[in-house]
Structure 1
């Protein structure tokens, strides 16, 4: 069982990392907008490939 102090520390670390990540994203978009756009395009492409793979899997599974 975690002590109260450990839970409080874990919450504080999570909060610091969350705000640090948000600050990094703002900085990245503000100072490197072209690079940020490429990252978003890459992530979007990967998600589309994953969705297509799931679609192909279920189409094969159900015999379309």
Structure 2
């Protein structure tokens, strides 16, 4: 008996990351940073990344813009 094939959804072309800059501000980027900077993500939409960044600002992990 064959196992059913479960297809994974394709990687969304819009994966968003929150990247902490050296000055403490966090930016929202469409690709992960090449260097080992502090980052959060990937998020499926830019709006979700913005909402998460607000949470990081409130928790003191990022400075407001």
Q: TM-score, normalised by structure 2?
A: 0.26
Q: Is the radius of gyration larger for structure 1 or structure 2?
A: 1
Q: Which has the higher strand share?
A: 2
